């Protein structure tokens, strides 16, 4: 059944998958404080209008790059599957931060706000250049890993609530879908709530992740709310979502699904994003071959010079 489903999905998404030549171009979408922010655009030689899959790399807002070699297969795969894939820069404001306690939370929140500002700028650039880039602006899906996942979840959260910083995108624009690999929402308003219906959301998270909790770390209304809490809130309010909770898995889930769960990603996009099915799905997922490999906690990660992609 799994292989039959895969075959159907491949036909639906692209008749030329795995044979199409992928072209990559780089464009500047914004300049902030003298820093050029660029996007890499991956696309087959198709002349058709395509859905767009944006991607934000991970690295704790202190490291990483849009063209990091680790992600190249993921980006090319979805370009071959019929998407215009866009991997973007965003400013890394935690690069030289050495704060603690509530000052660290303040600095992290500012870094997230700046990343979201850059996400909106990139989205606006795609909308304004949609005809030239042959993008369907009703089908812009955001995906992100770790800090990138936090950013895409925040971008939809901010836009749906009209929070400060949501000044570029039209109220009539909505992201078509959100895909989060080990992300969460840092809120000072308690459990995240939405004033208007959020985009259908696909969440992957390891249940023993020490770097970005899958549950919550909360002090009064301030807290980091992970995928488990977000999924619970979506279910409470009848928002479509799929949540894969990976047993005995840590922060490696920020990368694992991009290699091993592509069928599940396509299934989500076809059904909840394109066909707008109103499904709410929770999956307890176990891969007996997957062992926790990224065991860093927040304190250790920001003290160390480690790179999550190494």
Domains along the chain with CATH numbers? 2-303 (3.40.50.1820)
Predicted confidence at residue 305, as pLDDT, reads 63
Considering Cα of 236, then 225, then 286, then 12, what sign does the dihedral take?
positive
Average pLDDT over residues 159-186: 96
Average pLDDT over residues 235-251: 97
Give dist(CA 87, CA 142) in Å, integer: 10
Predicted confidence at residue 20, as pLDDT, reads 73
Give dist(CA 305, CA 296) in Å, integer: 12
**What is the DSSP annotation of 79-135?**
HHTT-EEEEE----TTTT----HHHHHHHHHHHHHHHHHHHHHHHHHHHHTHHHHTE
Predicted confidence at residue 4, as pLDDT, reads 46
What count of Cα atoms within 13 Å lies in the side-chain half-sphere of residue 179? 27
Predicted confidence at residue 309, as pLDDT, reads 56
Phi-psi region of 276 (alpha: psi -120 to 50; beta: other; left: phi over 0): left
Is the pLDDT at 308 greater than 70? The verdict is no
* Nearest to 25, CA basis, from 92, 91, 89, 85: 85
Considering Cα of 22, then 23, then 24, then 30, what sign does the dihedral take?
negative
Average pLDDT over residues 246-269: 97
Looking at every residue in the chain, the average pLDDT score rounds to: 93
- Tell me which of 17-21, 37-41, 217-221, 277-281 is least confident: 17-21
* Nearest to 167, CA basis, from 119, 199, 108: 119
4-24 per-position pLDDT tens digit: 444 445 555 544 455 579 999
Predicted confidence at residue 16, as pLDDT, reads 44
Predicted confidence at residue 295, as pLDDT, reads 84
101-158 per-position pLDDT tens digit: 999 999 999 999 999 999 999 999 999 999 999 999 999 999 999 999 999 999 999 9
Is the pLDDT at 242 greater than 90? The verdict is yes
Predicted confidence at residue 128, as pLDDT, reads 98
Give dist(CA 212, CA 185) in Å, integer: 10
Give dist(CA 138, CA 195) in Å, integer: 20
Average pLDDT over residues 184-188: 98
Percent over 70 (pLDDT), the chain? 92
């Amino acid at each position: 059944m799994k292989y039959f489903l895969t075959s159907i999905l491949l036909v639906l998404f692209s008749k030329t998958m795995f044979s199409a030549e992928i072209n990559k171009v780089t464009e500047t979408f914004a300049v902030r404080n003298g820093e050029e922010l660029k996007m890499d655009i991956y696309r087959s030689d198709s002349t058709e209008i395509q859905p767009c899959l944006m991607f934000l790399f991970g690295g704790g807002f202190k490291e990483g790059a849009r063209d990091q070699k680790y992600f190249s297969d993921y980006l090319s795969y979805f370009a071959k599957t019929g998407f215009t894939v866009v991997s973007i820069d965003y400013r890394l404001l935690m690069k030289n931060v050495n704060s603690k306690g509530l000052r660290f939370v303040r600095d992290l929140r500012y870094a997230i706000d700046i990343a979201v500002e850059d996400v909106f700028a990139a989205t606006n650039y795609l909308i304004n250049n949609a005809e030239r880039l042959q993008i369907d602006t009703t089908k812009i899906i955001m995906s992100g890993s770790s800090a990138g996942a936090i950013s895409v979840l925040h971008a939809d959260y901010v836009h749906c609530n009209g929070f400060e910083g949501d000044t570029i995108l039209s109220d009539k624009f909505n992201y078509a879908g959100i895909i989060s690999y080990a992300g969460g929402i840092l809120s000072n308003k308690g459990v995240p709530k939405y004033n208007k219906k959020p985009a259908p959301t696909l969440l992957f998270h390891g249940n023993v992740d020490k770097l970005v909790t899958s549950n919550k770390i909360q002090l009064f209304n301030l807290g980091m709310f992970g995928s488990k809490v977000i999924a619970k809130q979506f279910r409470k309010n009848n928002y479509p979502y799929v949540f894969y909770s990976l047993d005995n898995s840590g922060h490696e889930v920020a990368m694992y699904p991009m290699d091993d769960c592509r069928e599940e990603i396509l299934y989500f996009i076809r059904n909840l994003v394109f066909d707008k099915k109103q499904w709410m799905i929770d999956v307890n997922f176990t891969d007996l071959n997957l062992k926790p490999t990224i065991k860093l906690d927040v304190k250790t990660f920001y003290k160390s010079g480690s790179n999550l992609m190494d």
